[in-house]
Amino acid sequence: MGIDTAVQNLNYIQKKLLDGSYKKDMPLMQFALSNAIESIRNTPFNYVIRHGNTKDKKGHISSYTAIAQRYKAKALCDLEDLQGEMSTLFRVKRCLVLIKKLLETNFYRNYVQQKMENFIFVANRNLQASHQHITKIEV
């Protein structure tokens, strides 16, 4: 189980919502959604950080980790909101908006990686690729 499983489950739910056959397949859709939530909760999100030297990364690793944790929690909250929508009021448009946002942003992973790549250390602005170090964080 991993992110691919969650993506497949959300695509299945989205297809059923768009087809209009969601009423008869509701138990299967809720099972797929609970599997997606568990797979996202248990799958570590990995990110790559480029920096100039070891002194630079120490001050920002905790910030990057906090950002990554915040957006993983946001993805889980959106999935749980989707679960709530499917169990109570069931607003189809709201469900489709949540699914679309999660799939487009790859559970906010694309946004977090872009945010980390856009950050430039002032002292290392002109560093060549051969002088850059890479650190991986896992959330």
pLDDT digits (tens, 9 = 90+) for 16-33: 999 988 889 999 999 999
Assign 89 a pLDDT band (cuts: 50, 70, 90): confident
Residue with tokens 């002194």: 55
Rounded alpha-carbon distances, angstroms, from residue 64 to 45, 74, 89: 12, 15, 37
Provide the pLDDT for residue 129. 56
- Phi, then psi, of 50 in degrees rounded to 5: -105, 135
Query: Which alpha helices (H) appear in 88-129, and where do they start and end?
Result: 92-104, 109-118
Can you give the pTM of this predicted structure?
Answer: 0.85
Q: Is the pLDDT of residue 127 over 80?
A: no
Q: Is the pLDDT of residue 41 over 70?
A: yes
**Residues β-bridged to residue 138:** 46
Q: Are residues 30 and 87 in contact, defined by beta-carbon separation less than 8 angstroms?
A: yes
Assign 136 a pLDDT band (cuts: 50, 70, 90): confident
